Structure 1
Amino acid sequence: MITKQTAYEPFTTDSVVDYLKQRELINPESPVVCEEIGDGNLNYVFRVTATDSNRSLIVKQALPYAKVVGESWPLTLDRARIESESLLQAAKVVPELVPAVYENNPVLASTVMEDLSSHTVLRKGLIEGKRYPELAKHIGTYLAYTLFYSSDFGLEPAAKKELATRFVNPDLCNITEDLVFTDPFFDHETNDFPEALRPDVEEIWADDNLKLEAAKLKQLFLTKGEALIHGDLHTGSVFVTEGSTKVIDPEFAFLGPIGFDVGAFIANLILNYLSQEARLTDTSERNEFQDYLLAVIKETWEVFTETFSGLWKQDGKGAFITVPGYLDYVLSQILQETVGFAGCKIIRRTIGLSHVEDIDGIENSEARINVQRAALQVGRKLILKRESQEKIEDVIALVRGAGNE
Structure 2
Amino acid sequence: MTTEGFRVLEEKSLIEYIKATPSLASKLGNDLENLKVKEVGDGNLNFVYIVISPSASIVIKQAVPYVRLIGESWPMTKERSYFEATALKRQYDLSPKHVPQLYHFDRSMSLIGMRYLEPPHIIVRKGLVAGVKYPLLAQHMSDFMANTLFYTSLLYLTTTQHKAAVADFCANVEICRLTEQVVFSDPYKISEHNRWTSPYLDADAEAIRNDKVLKLEVGQLKSKFCEQTQALIHGDLHTSSVMVTQDSTQVIDPEFAFYGPMGFDIGAFVGNLFLAYFAQDGYADDRKTYKEWIKCTIGDTWNLFHQKFTSLWDMHKDGPGEAYLHEIYQDTELWELVKQKYMIGLLHDSLGFAAAKMIRRIVGVAHVEDFESIGDPVKRADCERSALDFAKMLMKKRRNFNTITDVLSAV
TM-score (norm: length of structure 1): 0.94
2:168 counterpart residue number? 166
Say whether residues 1:264 and 2:268 are aligned partners: yes
Counterpart of 1:250 in 2: which secondary structure?
Answer: coil
Q: Which sits farther off after the overlay, 320-329 or 250-259? A: 320-329
Judging changes above 3 Å, is the alpha-carbon distance between structure 1 residues 385 and 280 closer, same or farther for their aligned structure 2 residues?
Answer: farther
Encode CA deviations 1:242-297: one digit per residue, 9 max, x unaligned: 00000000000011000000000001100010000111532xxx221011001001
Partner of 2:79: 78
1:80-124 superposed Cα distances (whole Å, 9 cap, x missing partner): 011111011011111010001001111100100000132111000
Matched residue, 2:232: 228
Aligned equivalents of 2:405 and 2:31: distance in 1?
A: 56
Matched, 1:219 2:220: no
In the alignment, structure 1 residue 332 sits paired with structure 2 residue 330: no
Residue 14 of structure 2: aligned partner: 16
Superposition TM-score, scaled by structure 2 size: 0.93
Instruction: Please list every run of 5 or more consecutive structure 2 residues that lacks an aligned counterpart in the other structure.
Output: none
Summarize deviations over 1:345-404 as a string: whole Å, max 9, x none.
110000100000100110111100101111110110110011111001111112x2xxxx
Q: Which residue of 2 aligns with 1:36?
A: 39
Deviation at 1:155, TM superposition (A): 1.0
Q: 2:11, 2:237 → 1: CA distance?
A: 28
The DSSP-based 3-state class of the residue aligned with 1:92 is: helix
For 1:378 and 1:84, locate their aligned partners in 2 and report how far apart those are by CA, in whole Å: 36
Separation in 1 of the partners of 2:40 and 2:227?
36
Asked if 1:390 corresponds to 2:402, the answer is yes
State the 1:303 CA deviation: 1.1
The count of residues paired between Structure 1 and Structure 2 equals 390
Amino acid at match of 2:12: D
In the TM superposition, 1:167-316 aligns within 5 A as: 167-168=169-170, 169-193=172-196, 194-282=198-286, 286-316=287-317
CA contact (8 A) 1:273 1:290 kept: yes
Q: Distance in 2 between matches of 1:185 and 1:129?
A: 32
Q: In the TM superposition, what are the counterparts of 1:28-177 in structure 2 within 5 Å?
A: 29-51=32-54, 53=55, 55-118=56-119, 119-168=121-170, 169-177=172-180
1:101 partner amino acid? L
Q: CA RMSD in A?
A: 1.3
1:169-192 per-residue CA deviation (whole Å, 9 max, x = no partner) reads 111111110100111011222210
Taking the aligned partners of 2:191 and 2:32, their CA distance within structure 1 comes to 53
- In structure 1, distance between residues paired with 2:48 and 2:381: 33
Q: Is the 8 A contact 2:60 2:112 kept in 1?
A: yes
Instruction: Tell me the SS of whatever aligns to 2:114.
Output: strand
What code does the residue aligned with 1:217 have? Answer: L
Amino acid at match of 2:113: V
Helix, strand or coil: the match of 2:250?
strand
State the distance in 1 between where 2:48 and 2:309 align.
34
Cα deviation, residue 10, structure 1: 0.7
Cα shift at 1:72 = 2.1
Deviation at 1:6, TM superposition (A): 5.4
Shift of the 315–123 alpha-carbon distance from structure 1 to 2, 3 Å rule, reads same
Cα distance in structure 2, aligned partners of 1:356 and 1:29: 37
CA distance in 1, matches of 2:315, 2:19: 45
Q: CA deviation at 1:156?
A: 1.4
Is 1:377 the counterpart of 2:389? The answer is yes
Question: Is the CA contact (8 Å cut-off) linking 2:271 and 2:358 kept in structure 1?
Answer: yes
1:359 partner SS: helix
1:326-351 C-alpha deviation (Å, 9 max, x unpaired): 11111111000100111111100001
State the distance in 2 between where 1:280 and 1:242 align: 24
Extract unaligned runs of 5+ from structure 1.
401-405
C-alpha displacement at 1:14, in angstroms? 1.0
Q: Within 2, Cα distance between the matches of 1:79 and 1:134?
A: 31
Instruction: Sort the Cα spacing of 1:321 and 1:90 in 2 relative to 1 into closer, same or farther, 3 A.
Output: farther
Q: Any conservation in 1 of the 2:200–2:378 contact (CA below 8 Å)?
A: no
Q: 1:99 and 1:8 mapped to 2: Cα distance?
A: 25
CA distance in 1, matches of 2:32, 2:229: 48
Instruction: Please tell me whether the aligned partners of residues 45 and 61 of structure 1 are also in contact (alpha carbons under 8 angstroms).
Output: yes
Identity of aligned residues (%): 38
Whole-angstrom CA distance in 2 between matches of 1:29 and 1:274: 47
Contact 1:321 1:327 (C-alpha < 8 Å) held by counterparts? no
